[in-house]
């Protein structure tokens, strides 16, 4: 039996900014339907990797293919989005003055454009799809409120809903739990897990409680200095010596540091 094609194949990617190598010989293979978590210290190149996939930034070298047939390096950002690759940025980017419903309608309509979407009667099928998405993201009771009035976590869910409305096959989600309460974070984890399978999701995240929640039985990738340091189950990754050294260890050492003792070195003067 032949294997399923990878939904995303990255091979030997490199990207420098003014001499600083943000992405270094990065190869990454993603199966259809995966929920893959990517972790790594600040500056590891995580967001830059997403920028390369979406065409926002171009690599200096390497290959980037979608479903093993579309060469992403030959397409612009808009064409990449049309292929079914959706991106959620770290900070929510919803239309705050429009209602939750209108935000979803705009994403659903896509190329139809802002004004014609808002001022033309919606088709029953569109209404139905928006209702479904509202239920999935648990915002049915906020449908006719302005997006700007939503709590931070709810804005993030709306944005995930907008990726669903766009019908993204591959959803790239950058630090969804940032700024969320524990309760919102947990619900976000449940939402992403419920979407994986029919869709493929890459989640970049720092919050290790959240990472453990969504990565049970799945693969985690650790980025460091623009390349892959380690890949595997969360337990394998958290026990990897190199990961402990560059990432988790550094954090726990920082936490273990005793409270500042301003006088400690004064005798040395």
Chain positions contacting ligand ADP, by CB under 6 A: 17, 22, 40, 42-48
Exposure string for 143-172, b = 16+ CB within 10 A, e = fewer = eeebbeebeebbbbbbbbbbbbbbebbbbb
Q: Are 56 and 40 in contact (CB under 8 A)?
A: no
* Between 73 and 136, CB nearer to ligand ADP: 73
Number of residues that bind Mg ion (CB under 5 A): 2
| 43 backbone φψ class: left, alpha, beta (φ>0; ψ -120 to 50) | left
Reduced to 3 states (helix: H, G, I; strand: E, B; else coil), residue 57 is coil
From the list ligand ADP, Mg ion, none, partner contacted by residue 42 (C-beta under 5 to 8 A by kind): ligand ADP
- Cβ contact 194:182 at 8 Å: no
Task: Output the six-digit token pair for 135.
Answer: 């239920």
Query: CB of residue 46 vs Mg ion: minimum separation in angstroms?
Result: 5
What is the C-alpha separation between 58 and 61, in angstroms, rounded? Answer: 9
48 binds, among ligand ADP, Mg ion, none (CB under 5 to 8 A by kind): ligand ADP
**Pick 38 or 160: Cβ nearer ligand ADP:** 38
* 48: contact with Mg ion by CB under 5 A: no
Least separation in angstroms between CB 144 and ligand ADP = 36
Least distance from C-beta 3 to Mg ion, angstroms? 32
Query: Who's near 210: CB < 8 A, 6+ residues apart?
Result: 177, 185, 186, 188, 189
Q: Are 223 and 24 in contact (CB under 8 A)?
A: no
Q: Which does 22 bind (CB under 5 to 8 A by kind): Mg ion, ligand ADP, none?
A: ligand ADP
Determine if 103 is a binding residue for Mg ion (CB under 5 A): no
With CB cut-offs between 5 and 8 Å by kind, which of ligand ADP, Mg ion, none does residue 30 bind?
A: none
Residue 92 contact among ligand ADP, Mg ion, none, beta carbon within 5 to 8 Å by kind: none
Pick 40 or 227: Cβ nearer ligand ADP: 40
Cβ atoms of 108 and 130 closer than 8 Å: yes
With binding defined as CB under 5 A, does residue 47 bind Mg ion?
yes
Contact residues for Mg ion, defined by CB under 5 A: 46-47
């Amino acid at each position: 039996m032949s294997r399923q094609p990878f939904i995303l194949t990255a091979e030997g990617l490199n990207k420098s900014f003014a001499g600083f190598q943000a992405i270094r010989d990065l190869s990454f293979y993603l199966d259809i339907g995966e929920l893959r978590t990517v972790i790594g210290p600040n500056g590891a190149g995580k967001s830059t990797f997403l920028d390369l996939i979406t065409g926002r930034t171009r690599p200096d070298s390497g290959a980037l293919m979608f479903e093993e047939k579309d060469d992403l390096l030959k397409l612009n950002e808009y064409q990449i989005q049309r292929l079914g690759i959706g991106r959620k940025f770290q900070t929510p980017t919803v239309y705050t003055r429009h209602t939750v419903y209108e935000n979803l309608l705009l994403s659903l309509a896509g190329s139809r454009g802002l004004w014609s979407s808002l001022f033309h009667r919606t088709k029953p099928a569109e209404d139905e799809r928006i209702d479904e998405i509202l239920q999935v993201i648990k915002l049915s009771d906020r449908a006719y409120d302005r997006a700007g009035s939503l709590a931070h976590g709810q804005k993030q869910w709306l944005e995930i809903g907008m990726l669903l409305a766009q019908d993204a096959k591959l959803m790239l989600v950058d630090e969804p739990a940032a700024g969320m309460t524990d309760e919102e974070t947990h619900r976000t984890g449940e939402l992403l897990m419920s979407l994986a399978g029919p869709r493929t999701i890459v989640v970049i995240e720092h919050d290790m409680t959240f990472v453990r929640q969504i990565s049970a039985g799945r693969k985690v990738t650790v980025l460091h200095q623009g390349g892959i340091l380690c890949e595997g189950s969360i337990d394998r990754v958290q026990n990897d010596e190199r990961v402990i050294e560059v990432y988790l260890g550094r954090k726990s050492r920082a936490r273990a540091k005793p409270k500042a003792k301003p006088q400690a070195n004064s005798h040395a003067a």
